[in-house]
Amino acid sequence: MKHTEETKNKISKTMKNRRVTDLPPWNVGLPSHRRGKTYNEEYGLERTKEIINKLSNSMKVASLGHIVSKETREKIGNSNRGKTVSFETRLKISKSQLGMKKPWATRKVGHKVSEETRRKISLYHSGDDIFTGFKQDFKLRLRNIRQYREWRYSVFKRDNFTCVECGHRVYLEAHHIISLSDLIKQFNIITLNDAVKCGELWNIDNGISYCQKCHVEDDFHRAKFGIKKK
């Protein structure tokens, strides 16, 4: 039903002469249990579990498919930030969830996650597209990818598979003139995807072929690990 212009004008005039404090409270027509009283205080009884479950299920059905916008999630997050839940409230939440099935707690004891799933989890946490192994330092993962092995081989090939310091054709190691750590910091390399895209990282002019002995003598950081037996 639409109000006529005459009715609108009457409402407008009456509202102009009234203060906000004169207006009735918003909850004046609500039942008393909606105005601070609990269901038990209002009716002298508690809701049965059957009624509680029905209400809970109806709310779940009503919210199915409802997507909360990013803006709304941020508002909720900002309003809850810094709030602390009292021990009494936490105890109530704990009691209300007793007997409920929790998806994160349904895994059977002794259940083993497949290697494929573990790889997916590892790639998700590392932010990489290339899997090189579990629980590895970033530089170690970097040394295991194809691009690094190709760079290493190109350095050896350029030096005719010979140590440039002593001239021996033995087991060789590719030494970085500008250290790998400095390159990672300089070009802000965080993931293996960043490393693959960084052309300077694969510049063979930044590499020298050394045997282990010469590498240990020339590189202070390499000297920490000593000479490996081959």
The confidence score (pLDDT) of residue 120 equals 83
The confidence score (pLDDT) of residue 160 equals 94
What six digits make up the tokens of 153? 């081989």
The confidence score (pLDDT) of residue 19 equals 54
Better pLDDT: 200 or 132: 200
- The label of the residue with tokens 């970033």 reads 138
C-alpha dihedral sign at 159, 160, 162, 165 = negative
Residue type, 168: H
The confidence score (pLDDT) of residue 209 equals 94
Residue type, 198: C
What's the mean pLDDT in 91-102?
79
What six digits make up the tokens of 65? 């498919």
What six digits make up the tokens of 2? 């639409």
Per-residue confidence band for 70, with pLDDT thresholds at 50, 70 and 90: confident
CB under 8 Å to 179, separation ≥6 — which residues?
Answer: 221
Check: pTM over 0.85? Answer yes or no. no
The confidence score (pLDDT) of residue 174 equals 92
Q: Are 180 and 142 in contact (CB under 8 A)?
A: yes
Alpha helices by DSSP H, listed for the chain, are: 5-16, 39-43, 49-63, 70-80, 87-96, 115-126, 138-143, 146-158, 180-186, 192-197, 212-218, 220-223
The confidence score (pLDDT) of residue 172 equals 92
Per-residue confidence band for 107, with pLDDT thresholds at 50, 70 and 90: low
Better pLDDT: 224 or 117: 117
Average pLDDT, the chain: 79
Report whether pLDDT(158) > 80.
yes
CA-to-CA distance for 107 and 110, rounded, in angstroms? Answer: 9
Residue type, 230: K
CA-to-CA distance for 49 and 148, rounded, in angstroms? Answer: 63
The confidence score (pLDDT) of residue 102 equals 67
C-alpha distances in Å from residue 51, one per residue of 64, 92, 96, 171: 20, 19, 15, 77
The confidence score (pLDDT) of residue 17 equals 61
Domain ranges of the chain: 132-223
| Nearest by Cα to 174 from 195, 194, 201, 149 | 149
**For the chain, give me the number of helices (H) and strands (E)?**
12, 2
pLDDT in tens, 183-230: 988 999 888 888 889 999 999 999 999 999 898 888 877 777 676 655
Give the CB-side neighbour count of residue 160, counting CA atoms within 13 A: 5
CA-to-CA distance for 19 and 28, rounded, in angstroms? Answer: 17
The confidence score (pLDDT) of residue 38 equals 67
Asked which of 32-36, 37-41, 71-75, 120-124 is least confident by mean pLDDT, the reply is: 32-36
